[in-house]
Chains A and B, each alone.
Chain A
Amino acid sequence: MASYLLRRLLGMLPLLVGITIVCFVVIHLAPGGPTDLQTDLNPKVSAQARARLAALYGLDQPLHMQYGRWLMQLVRGDLGRSFADDRPVTSKILERIPVTLTIELLAMALILAVAIPIGVTGAVRPGSPADQCATFVAFVGFAMPSFWLALMLMSWFGVRLGWLPISGLQSLDYEAMRWWERWLDGAAHLVLPVFVSAFGGVAGFSRFMRGSMAEALRQPYVRTAVAKGLPASRVVYRHALRNALLPVVTILGLSVPGLISGSVIVEAIYAIPGMGRLYFDAVMARDYPIIMGVLLIGAVLTLLGNLLADVAYAVVDPRIRYE
């Protein structure tokens, strides 16, 4: 197991290097260079000042030197400083990650809790009204623009009905609350973002689950279980479902990039101080060090998601060997 993990981690190294190259290249696509934005709008900046600024960021050196320099800093955990407030990018990102992670993990849990029963029902009784209804909802779920869903829910539950808070993670009087009120307040703020994050995923996942379950139900061991007279529920839940859940592990890992992408929209709309919001603000302000940093972290998180999925698959499925 340990050697398998080690080999997988080593195998990720070339991809990691590739990721850093892509991040670096994307930022240097900027016509004129990343510091232009700081200087362009300011007529008082002289040519010397501009050159000094370029030297400060190492922009007067050839590209491969710049990349090497950036990579050396990166290895030491230094992602540079934000243009906006001159704080280290690393700490700005690190303080945001828990928020995004909480929302996305809750969304994932919600997806599983809803999609698995839907998928199983559909596979067990294909063509039933429940199945057709679920299929229809899945289609709409795929097509639903998440930003629109977020906006509609916000205007309905937040503004019109006034049931749920519409932005941020805490109410204004959070400090004055007792511990259980704080807990409730936090939960209320999470309802809409988690729901919107999970919505599209439920559609995809329930369909996947349905397919996987239908496949499992066709297997010989299910026929055997039925033939020896086991009750239907036992066949479905003990024999088929357990096997149908195996590929779900992989899909969970593969859904990481989608969830991260979605966090930008959800967090931008609900004003949640997470990584997506940080990224959105950085993009709007062209805060290149932050953009580079979050892009890098997003890709690394995706890579880790894939790794976790592979390892988890090897753990839950004894047929997979660590070779």
Chain B
Amino acid sequence: MRILLDVKRCEGHGVCAETAPELFRLDDDGELVVLFDGDEIPAGQEDASASAVRVCPVGALRRQP
């Protein structure tokens, strides 16, 4: 399973970073930083990634098999 970030849509609300702190964080300028390499969701982060997709208020995250 992969997780895709639509950079144009992301507005740096940072709700995903609170829900899935192992996957995302906001830097001091409010830009989203992806904390894993590539698109593949790291092992053990399936649920967190699904939650991150759901909480994004601008629909900037999406999961893809």
Q: Do A and B bind each other?
A: no
Q: List residues of chain A with CB under 8 Å of any chain B CB.
A: none
